[in-house]
Amino acid sequence: MPTWKSRGLRGSTLEELINRSNERYQELGLALIQKIPTPITPINIEKETRHITLAYFDQKSTVDYIGAVQGIPVCFDAKECAYTTFTLENIHPHQVRFMSDFERQDGIAFFLIYFTSLNEFYYLPFRRLKEFWERAENGGRKSFRRDELSDDYIIRSPGDSGILIPYLDLIQRDLDDR
């Protein structure tokens, strides 16, 4: 069984916060966002407990979440970053292609990044990520620093709504900034 520090459980707290936020958005009738499971093929299963002990990924995953916010298609990926510099190695080319295709279909793609050292949740519009991605492809830095990001996309405290990571307001800002 993986331990808390294992690679397989990184981001599980962030995902749990997002899942609870998405449930609350659904209860309020504001959005319907679903977690996309990564497809796996089990190799070994313990007979007594029915736990999968060995498996491989069937295919590359695209994004962590997909759904609709008041009729607008959205997709996003959740990432944790222990430092104030985010390495682009954490994002895969197939994810960038999927998000780019998604936006070409008039959807909104973004990343929710939790900068753990700052205890800060950040909404990164896909178009901004793409700028960093293209910079790296052209021989520039293969990362970006938190201080390169606009403070306008910091996810503020939830208030009384019961939404742990209130990112919907940032989707509206993203739309307004297009």
Work out how many domains the chain is built from and give that number: 1
Q: What is the CATH number of the domain that holds 104?
A: 3.40.1350.10
Structure tokens at 170: 């940032």
- Two tokens at 71? 């009729």
Interval 18-23 mean pLDDT:
94
Q: Which of 110, 119, 114 is nearest to 168 (CA)?
A: 110
Q: Is residue 2 part of a domain?
A: no
Known binding residue 70? Answer is: no
Residue-wise pLDDT for 69-96, tens only, equals 999 999 999 999 999 999 999 999 999 9
* Inside any domain, residue 164: yes
User: Which amino acid is present at 26?
Assistant: Q
Per-residue pLDDT tens over the stretch 105-154: 999 999 999 999 999 999 999 999 999 999 999 999 999 999 999 999 99
Among candidates 149, 154, 151, which has minimal Cα distance to 167? 154
- Host domain of residue 121: 7-176
152 known member of a binding site: no
Confidence of residue 42 (pLDDT cuts 50, 70, 90): low
**Known binder of ligand: residue 38?**
no
64 is in an annotated binding site: yes
The answer, yes or no, to whether residue 54 has pLDDT greater than 80, is no
Reported as a pLDDT band with limits 50, 70 and 90, residue 10 is very low
Nearest to 175 by CA among 45, 73, 91, 85: 73
Is 1 part of a structural domain of the chain?
Answer: no
